[in-house]
């Protein structure tokens, strides 16, 4: 939904806007939305980076979803980002 609203508002989908959106999810305690954004953004072929993943990991940790946070860390390790 957020990506649709961004497109409607003519906000350019980029690494920076995606990082901001995932970070906002972290601050709002919306870990599931942060993970959903990762999937949607990757599908839109926007390049994710460590900042994006760090915010998503933090969102999961804040939400008590340690298994999800560990899964993201494994993905980062596989991408050789950590």
- Count CB atoms within 10 A of the CB of residue 58: 19
Q: Would you tell me how many other CB atoms lie within 10 Å of the CB of residue 10?
A: 6
On the question of pLDDT at 3 being above 70, the answer is no
- Give the model confidence (pLDDT) of 18-73 as tens digits: 899 899 999 999 999 999 988 888 888 888 888 999 999 999 999 999 999 999 99
**Alpha helices in the chain, H assignment, sequence order:** 2-8, 15-27, 31-43, 50-62, 66-78
* CA gap 75, 67 in Å, rounded: 12
| Structure token pair of residue 74 | 């494994």
Instruction: Look at 13 and 18; give whichever has higher pLDDT.
Output: 18
More confident residue, 66 or 10: 66
Q: What is the pTM of this model?
A: 0.83
What pLDDT sits at residue 70?
95
């Amino acid at each position: 939904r957020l990506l649709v609203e961004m497109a409607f508002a003519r906000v350019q989908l980029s690494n920076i806007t995606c990082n901001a959106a995932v970070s906002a999810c972290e601050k709002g305690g919306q870990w599931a939305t942060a993970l959903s954004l990762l999937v949607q953004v990757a599908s839109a072929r926007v390049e994710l980076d460590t900042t994006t993943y760090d915010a998503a990991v933090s969102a999961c940790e804040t939400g008590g979803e340690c298994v999800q946070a560990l899964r993201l860390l494994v993905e980062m390790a596989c991408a050789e980002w950590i």
